[in-house]
Amino acid sequence: MFINFWYPAVTGAELTADKPIRVQMLGHWLVLFRDSAGVARCLADTCVHRGGALGLGRIRRGHVECPYHGWQFDGEGRCQAIPSLGPEARIPPRAKVDSYPVQEKYGLVFAFLGDLPEAQRPPLMPIPEYETPGWRANLIIFDIHCNYERSIENGLDPGHNEFVHPSQGFEGERADYRVPELEIEDQQWGSGFMSVFRGRERANLPTRTAMRTDAEGRFDPDVSAGTWHHGPAQMVTKIHMARTNWMHQYMFECPVDEDRVKVYLVNMRNCLLDEEKDAKVVERCLVVANQDIAVLEKMQPVTTPRSATLEILMPADGPIARYRQWLRGWTDRGWRLDIARIRSARAERDVVFAIPSPARATEKNWVLDPVPLVPGTGAPVAVQER
Ligand code: FES
Ligand SMILES: [Fe+2]
């Protein structure tokens, strides 16, 4: 898991002005709430008084109030009230918690979990089609009991469709099946591919006439699909069922911890635009997602193996190999959580860490230690330097 990226925390609709929401992200507890201007805010959840969970408290005058002794923290994470000191209280400067940048977009509330200054932050994956005429959006949310890297790698894996999704292949029955050669394309924050494919014609698919080959069995170049990842935990899968019949699935994934991921899928389509088709489209997306989930939740080891000798990659796994190169690049930058050190510290039961926030670059005097990170090498990010 990596700091210094945007992660989806909650939906905009569920974050009301009435109460905070406590969520776990990157193995850490965070609290989200709306301040008095209705702006979404995100703080570290651990109260620096004696460790109460802020997310279980309430909102007062636009501040989040700890349920234990009523300390109040504003959207910047600064303590604004310590009731036990009485109304004339002087608040000590150390009474602050980490506050993370937030942006609300695509119906979601994203938190930037890291300490990079604004100009250096990797951007959120954009959805150019969002609120564009001729496109329709649906938000679909699901939880997977798997490591988030396994989930992203599944999206970058053109070889699984044939076997995992009966509607997208032939379950290995065609003698001439193979994954076409892939051309991997690098973008600024990730890589991906677009590939022609052929699939079974299915009466219940929105594009029942589109997935086809011609009389000689050649691929229709208009029927294609591919996936690009953006950062470690976001990706878009583009499914072009015909020249003008497209579905673009933007997945913003939140690693809850090492073993669980929450997926916020913004499903964009430029066909079947009537609202009453939403339920059918969502149902279909969930059928496909559940086919993936059945495999993902049983994979071993839980995270990707620590050495390349512990599995056998094929050319069809090229996009996955490239994704791992990016992850190594971000590890070299010093952005990867050091899970082994976190685990051994937590085993002692007397420590809680905070994901460092941007204010840590300029302010000292924090109560909680920052989470241990794998030391960076200062090496350039291999893929980005290409
Ligand atoms: S632990 Fe939060 S106010 Fe005491
Ligand atoms: Fe899949």
**CATH number of the domain bearing residue 65:** 2.102.10.10
Residue 124 within any structural domain of the chain: no
238 part of a folded domain: yes
Index of the ligand 1 atom closest to the CA of residue 51: 1
If one counts every other C-beta atom within 10 angstroms of the C-beta of residue 246, the result is 19
pLDDT tens by residue, 128-161: 999 999 999 999 999 999 999 999 999 999 999 8
Judge whether residue 276 has pLDDT over 50: yes
Is 110 found in the same domain as 142? no
Among residues 296, 326, 356, the one where a domain terminates is: 326
Range of the domain at 346: 1-116+338-386
pLDDT, position 166: 84
Residue-averaged pLDDT of the chain? 91
Rounded to the nearest 10 degrees, what angle do helices 148-155 and 278-296 cross at?
120
- Residues whose CB is less than 8 angstroms from the CB of residue 244 and which lie 6 or more positions away in sequence, other chains included: 270, 271
User: Per the domain annotation, does 172 fall within a domain?
Assistant: yes
Query: Of 301, 326, 351, which closes a domain?
Result: 326
Whether residue 129 is contained in a domain is answered as no
Same domain for 319 and 345? no
Mean pLDDT value of segment 333-360: 95
pLDDT of amino acid 199: 54
d(CA 52, CA 106): 32
State which residues have CB under 5 angstroms from ligand 2, the bound ion: 292
- Would residue 38 be called left, alpha or beta, if left means φ above 0 and alpha means ψ between -120 and 50 degrees? left
Residues 238, 355: one domain?
Answer: no
Same domain, 170 and 65: no
- Which of 369, 297, 322 lies closest to 46 in space, CA to CA? 369
Q: Are residues 317 and 368 in the same domain?
A: no
Q: Determine the distance separating the centroid of ligand 1 and the alpha carbon of 370, expressed in angstroms.
A: 20
Indicate the top mutation candidate among 31, 63, 69 to test ligand 1's pocket, ranked by most ligand atoms within 8 A of CB. Answer: 69
Distance 161 CA to ligand 2 centre (A): 6
Mean pLDDT calculated for residue range 64-78: 98
241 C-alpha to ligand 2 centroid (Å): 16
**Residues contacting ligand 1 via CB (< 6 Å):** 47, 49-52, 66, 68-71
- Token pair for 153: 């790698």
CATH of the domain at 161: 3.90.380.10
- Asked which of 282, 303, 326 is the last residue of a domain, the reply is 326
Tally of CB atoms within 10 A around 104: 15
Q: Inform me whether the pLDDT recorded for 382 exceeds 70.
A: no
Same domain, 149 and 63: no
Number of domains in the chain: 2
Strands 353-354 and 369-370, sheet pairing: parallel
- Which ligand sits nearest to residue 249's alpha carbon? 2
Q: Are 26 and 106 part of one and the same domain?
A: yes
Are residues 111 and 6 in contact, defined by beta-carbon separation less than 8 angstroms? yes
The ligand whose atoms approach the alpha carbon of 53 most closely is 1
Mean pLDDT value across residues 185-207: 71
The answer for residues whose C-beta is within 8 angstroms of residue 365's C-beta and 6 or more apart is 93, 94, 96
CB 110 within 8 A of CB 8: yes
79 pLDDT above the threshold of 70 = yes
Regarding whether 342 and 314 lie in a shared domain, the answer is no
Closest-lying ligand 1 atom to the alpha carbon of residue 52: 1
Asked if residue 34 is part of any domain, the answer here is yes
Nearest ligand for residue 72 CA: 1
Ranked by mean pLDDT, the top range of 42-51, 176-185, 188-197 is 42-51
User: Does residue 331 belong to any structural domain of this protein?
Assistant: no
What is the per-residue pLDDT across 222-244, written as a single tens digit (0 to 9) for each? 678 899 999 999 999 999 888 78
Does the residue 121 lie in any domain? no
Residue 216 maps to a domain? yes
